[in-house]
Structures are given as C-alpha cells and as structure tokens.
Amino acid sequence: MERLCPQLLLSLKEYSGAKFTKDLIAGVIVAIIALPLSIALALASGVSPEQGLYTAIVAGFLISALGGSKVQIAGPTAAFAAIVAGIVARNGMDGLAVATVLAGVLLILMGVLRMGTMIKFIPYTITTGFTAGIAVTILVGQLKDFFGVTFNHSPIETVEKLEEFVACIGTASGYAILVGCVALVIQIVWPRFVQRVPASLIAVIVTSAMVKLLDLPVNTIGDLYTISGELPKLTIPEFSYETVAAVLPDAFTIAILAAIESLLSCVVADEMIGSRHNSNMELVAQGVGNTASALFGGIPATGAIARTAANIKNGGTTPISGMIHAVVLLLTLVFLMPYAALIPMPCIAAILFLVAYNMSGWRVFVRVLRQSPKSDSAVLLLTFFLTVVFDLVVAIGVGLSLACLLFMKRMADVAVIEEWKYIEDDKDEQGRYRPVPSHVMVYEITGPMFFGAADQIPHIQPGERRRVMILRMRSVPALDITALNSLCRLWEECRHHRIELIFSHVNEQPMSVMKKAGFYDAVGGADYFCANIDEALEKAAQL
C-alpha cells in the first residue's frame, strides 16, 4: 500500500536546472491557457471573474505541491459549472463556501482511508452520461450571451433557460452573434497553424479590440461585473446547521466529481508520461486545495485534463510546473486583471462552447450506445437525461442505483443450482462416468450466492426418499447472509426429513461466513465439509 507522500518531495530528490527550465516554460504556457478559461468558467458558474483566478491560484498551487501526480494541473473545470451555479442561486456564496469546505474534508478522508482505488467502481456509462449532460448544460447556459438575448426572467435550471431563450429570441443582437462567431472561428482555425499560443487567448484579444475600436453595442465583462485585481483574502464562512444540512448533498456531489475527474486526469497523464500516480495522496491534495480555495473566495477545483495534457506537451516534468502556473496567474491577477473588463460576453460564450464540445465526448457517447447492451445504454441515457433536466446529484444517485440493480440481476442470472445424476469430470480407469448412488442427491451450485440468487437454493419435497444431499460449491466465490439464511432453512428441512446434508469444496469466503455465523459447527463441523466430490460421495456411502 502506497504511503501518503507528495510527489513534489520525490521529484525534488533528482531535480536539476534543466528540469526547472522545462517546468518554467510549461508553467507559463499553461497559465496563458488557464487565464481565459478560469474567467470563463467562473462566469459560467455564476460568480465573479476573479474568483476563477482565485481558484486556479490557490487550489492549483496547493494541489500541485501536495498531489500524487507529477504533472497534474488543477483549477476550475466545466464539470462544476452547473453545480456551482445552482448552489450559488439557492444558498449564496456562503452556501457555496460551506459546501466546498465540506467537500474538501470528505476528499481528505477518502485519501486517508485509502479510497483512491474505489473510483473504479463508478461505471463508465455513468461518467460518460453525466459528462455529456454537463456539456449540454454549459452550452444551453451560454446561448443567451452568444446571441445577445435579453431575458425577462433569471432562470436557474437548464430546461428553464432553454425555454426563456426561445421565448426571448426576438431580442437577439446581430453584433453579439458576429463577435461570438469571430471568436469561434479563431478557436477552430488558429490551432491548425499555431500550437504554442492558445486560441482562446487570441480570441479574447481580437474580439476585445474589435468591440473597443469599433464601439460595438455588445456586453463586456465590465458591463455586467465589477472587476477586482485584489489578492484573495481569507474569509471564514458562517457554518450553521441549516446551511450544512442544505448543502451537504451538494458537498458529496462536489467531492465525488472532484475525485472522479482528478483521478481520471491522473490516469491520462500516467499514460502520456509512462509514470504512476499516488491516488490517495492526490485525493488528500484535492481536499486541501478545495478547502483553501473556498476559504480564499474561490470555487471548487479539480484536475483539468486539457491543462494537464498541455503541461506535458510543453515539457512539464514535475509538480513545480503547476506551482509556476499558479504564480503566473497571481501576477496576472495583480497587474492585468482590470483589462478583463474589456472581454466581450459573446467571446466568453464561444470559449465555453468549445469547452462543452471537447468535454462532451459525443463520439464516445454514440459508440457506447451502439456497442453496449440495452441495460448499459439505458443507464447512459438516463444519467444524461437527469443531468440535463434535473442536476448531477439526482443523475449520479439514480444512475448508480440503476447500474447496481442491473449488475445484481446479471449476477443472479449467472448463479445456477442444478441437480445432476453423474459426475461430469471424474471418470474411472475405463473412462466411464460413475453414477450417483440411488440414496444420494447432488446439487451443483455455480456463481455468487447473494440475496438476488438465494431463492434458487432448493427445498426438500414431501415424500423425498433419498437420505443424503450433497451441495457441491466449488464454483461459489462468495456467500452473503441472505443466502446463508436460505442454507439454514435447507438444513432445517433436511433435519425434519432425516436427510444428511454434506458440503463439498466450500471456498474460503463462503467458509468464513459459515464459521462466523455458527453454521459450520451447527451442521456438524469438519465431518460434513468435504474437500472434494469424491470425499463427499464416500461420506454419503458411509451414511
């Protein structure tokens, strides 16, 4: 089991000037990429622009310094936008801060309790479904700014936003659409010619100059928000029972989503650099980073796959590149933040359109639908639908419950109990099958015996003349208390009809359950638990 040791300490043992140069270049480039994204994601989350930078600075620095990955870059991500916006609308900034602090504590506990590997128990259909759903939610939320539409109301839910957009489409602005399209075209075309300079930054510069110089009637960030270049300040949110109770479900959602996205990002990074991350240390770092982000005015953060990949591609080799990225953003906040007021809202919307498109994974979505069994496709579509129509809390809860129920049904279908007359795999010297004695009945149990399959354990029929029952359990890997209760019922029936019950080849886990419950001793102990079917048949002959 890996110990909780930050990757930074391990990396510093072999650090050099050449590595620092690479980390410096990568950190600066990632900061340039993160700048417009942090502002855009903050606005999509319903908070002020600088709060996105607070998140990237505080959480980004701490998660890199304490994390279990060499190259992970953390900050605000699109996955949290809809959740954060909902929390802010319902409970205000204090509610968001409390929810994020609670989520941070949960993440720390997950890491300390070595739950980093449990992320594999989240089905792929669920992560694909809610990721695509979040992408749709982000896209719908940016239609208003991209088209320059004036809303009559301030809807919160995605469906309500779409209805309001359709109702108010007549107020759309041609100038806003023009600026948004220019930003989109730049982001699509620019990367084909220049890779080093992020297209989103070029889109921000070009459209800001376009609106300012041509004096276009298009809303900018400065028209809607008060821009602050102040350093983040420590603020302790007010914790009360009512607030904690109201945001606790959101805190669980933030923690689970942060764990899923950060560890997925670590896995992607591992594949790119041929390394291995410490998942439990990464969860602890995510918890510390999110807690600090909330206390310094930020929003939830997690590992950002796109920024992490950019860090690797530009030469980042240690966590220091992520720390440099946070420092560069801090300098940008202090010296350049007032210029963010010039960024047009349609440009922000266009940036988020591309973010939504890239995170949607629509090709994967379609492939999973085509290749998966109908039950898995149902989980995928239900999770996607609930994410869009309701929220991520409902989507993950219902999707995971349905996936578990379907899995249990499959396991129950796999479990089979059959009576047979001949031993299929044990032959005598002449190759003939040996018959089961006439006074013996043998039942072969295959598959896990749990509550979903417990009803298959046989009953003793009235008038049964055979005197011995053998339960062959070599293919039973696991047994739960419900199935054990059914075995107890079978044993009582056998006693009532004066039938001896013998067990053959009971595996370790089922045997442990039987002994712990006292069933092993009640049946008769070692005399009635045989190592194999031959021994069981010999025992049956003696009886």
For residue 392, pLDDT beyond 60: yes
State the pLDDT at residue 430. 41
Question: How much is the pTM?
Answer: 0.75
Average pLDDT of span 95-101: 96
Task: Choose between 427 and 292: higher pLDDT.
Answer: 292
Task: Name the nearest CA neighbour of 519 among 468, 485, 543, 478.
Answer: 485
pLDDT tens digit sequence for 274-303: 888 999 999 999 999 999 999 999 999 999
| Alpha carbon distance 458, 456 (integer Å) | 6
| Alpha carbon distance 358, 139 (integer Å) | 11
Q: What is the DSSP string of 103-170?
A: HHHHHHHHHHTT-GGGGGGS-HHHHHHHHHHHHHHHHHHHHHHHHTPPPSS---SHHHHHHHHHHTGG
Quick one: pLDDT band at residue 421, thresholds 50, 70, 90?
A: low
Q: What percent of the chain stands above pLDDT 70?
A: 97
Quick one: pLDDT band at residue 435, thresholds 50, 70, 90?
A: low
State the pLDDT at residue 382. 93
State the pLDDT at residue 2. 65
Task: Choose between 294 and 434: higher pLDDT.
Answer: 294
Q: Are strands 529-530 and 500-504 parallel, antiparallel or unpaired?
A: parallel
For residue 173, pLDDT beyond 60: yes
State the pLDDT at residue 428. 44
State the pLDDT at residue 505. 93
Quick one: pLDDT band at residue 265, thresholds 50, 70, 90?
A: confident
pLDDT tens digit sequence for 9-44: 999 998 999 999 999 999 998 998 888 889 989 988
Angle, helices 17-44 vs 345-360, to 10°: value is 110
For the chain, how are helix, strand and coil distributed in percent, rounded to 5? 65, 10, 25
Q: Which domains does the chain have, with CATH numbers?
A: 15-214+241-406 (no CATH), 416-542 (3.30.750.24)
Residue labelled with tokens 């009235």? 462
State the pLDDT at residue 431. 39
pLDDT tens digit sequence for 207-233: 999 999 999 999 998 888 877 888 888
For residue 432, pLDDT beyond 80: no
